[in-house]
Amino acid sequence: MSEHQEEPKLMIDLVKVSKTYLPDIQALSDVSLSVRKGEIVFLTGKSGAGKSTLLRLLTRMEKPTKGVIEVSGHDLNLISTVKLQILRRSIGFAFQDFKLLPERTVAENIAIAMEVSYTRPSVMQTRIRKLLQRLGLVEKHNTPTSGLSRGEQQRVAIARALANNPELILADEPTGNLDSETTEMVMALFRQYNQQGATLVIATHDTSIYQGTSHRVIELREGRIVARGDEEPEAEAPAPDPALAFADDLFSDE
Ligand SMILES: Nc1ncnc2c1ncn2[C@@H]1O[C@H](COP(=O)(O)OP(=O)(O)O)[C@@H](O)[C@H]1O
Ligand SMILES: [Mg+2]
């Protein structure tokens, strides 16, 4: 975003977005959706509903067949290659299939996210250590990711997504391979990043991770939004979170 523009209030704005995979798979149909900066939104729906497609459109890994997508004030149909690169550095994506480098260690896989943003090595190492602590993976620091369980790989993918302190976090089925205790660890970490200002979109078919939260739950069915929670939730101050006690530590880079 240029310094002359006003700071946009919306992190994400989709207007009548459709996505057809060739030859004729209609993955998304006429999806309109806005997400404010600092919001947590759950994207739910059965397998095949279009959740992953929607997340991939937000980083322009895929292009929409129709419609307009704005992320942090940038129209992704018009954005230049250079600006897209910069925008992507402010987005952390935890992929459904992890996309880890199997022969590289846990620490190396997380460092990759920070190398593209020119983070100093000492800062990188500190952040990696803190993330691994929070995700219960300290002992795995030097283990090649091919030697990890699915649940451990999933947490490495999450650590990598968070490593750059992104403004926007896209998490695709982030708890799919985790037990309830580890799921709570991950969700506490997400809440903490949110309280530091990050916007989160979490795609999940696991209803337990959003039950009892006040966050918006958007349900997709066969590529269409069929339920969208409260469209205009109260501009609530986030509730105090015990995880915040760790926040200064995690974000201090020391
Ligand atoms: N790269 C692709 N090529 C062709 N079809 C795809 C591709 N990715 C997803 N699809 C199809 O698009 C639909 C939506 O898939 P997806 O976005 O992965 O849904 P979800 O994440 O909710 O399971 C499904 O019918 C799926 O088979
Ligand atoms: Mg998916």
Confidence bin at 219 (pLDDT 50/70/90):
very high
To the nearest 10 degrees (0 to 180), the angle between helices 106-115 and 121-134 is 130
Q: What is the DSSP letter of 33?
A: E
In a domain, 5, yes or no: no
In a domain, 3, yes or no: no
In a domain, 143, yes or no: yes
- 51 CB near ligand 1 (under 6 Å): yes
| Whether pLDDT at 232 is above 60 | no
Ligand nearest to the CA of 96: 2
Q: What is the dihedral of CA 103, 108, 113, 118, to 10 degrees?
A: -130
User: What are the residues whose beta carbons fall under 8 Å from the beta carbon of 98, sequence distance 6 or more?
Assistant: 153, 154, 156, 157
Q: Which H or E element spans position 37?
A: none
Confidence bin at 234 (pLDDT 50/70/90):
very low
Give the domain range for residue 100.
10-230+239-251
Note the Cα 243 to chain centre separation in Å: 19
Tens-place pLDDT, residues 113-159: 888 778 898 999 999 999 999 999 999 999 999 999 999 999 999 99
Tally of structural domains, the chain: 1
**Lookup: tokens for 57:** 């459109």
Tens-place pLDDT, residues 28-58: 999 999 999 999 999 999 999 999 999 999 9
In a domain, 83, yes or no: yes
In a domain, 2, yes or no: no
The ligand 1 atom at the shortest distance from the C-alpha of residue 52 is: 21
> Percentage of residues in the chain with pLDDT exceeding 70?
87
| Whether pLDDT at 70 is above 90 | yes
DSSP string, 99-148: ---TTSBHHHHHHHHHHTTT--HHHHHHHHHHHHHHTT-GGGTTSBGGGS
Question: Sheet harboring 91-94: ordered strands across?
Answer: 91-94, 168-172, 199-203, 40-44, 216-221, 224-227
More confident residue, 86 or 240: 86
Q: Ligand 1: which of 43, 53, 218, 221 to mutate, most ligand atoms within 8 Å of CB?
A: 53
In a domain, 23, yes or no: yes
In a domain, 1, yes or no: no
Evaluate whether 174 touches 158 at the Cβ level (below 8 Å). Answer: yes
In a domain, 50, yes or no: yes
pLDDT of residue 135: 98
Report the CATH number at residue 116: 3.40.50.300
- 44 CB near ligand 1 (under 6 Å): no
Ligand nearest to the CA of 28: 1
Q: Which residues pair with 91 in a beta bridge?
A: 168
> Percentage of residues in the chain with pLDDT exceeding 90?
80
Mean pLDDT of the chain: 90
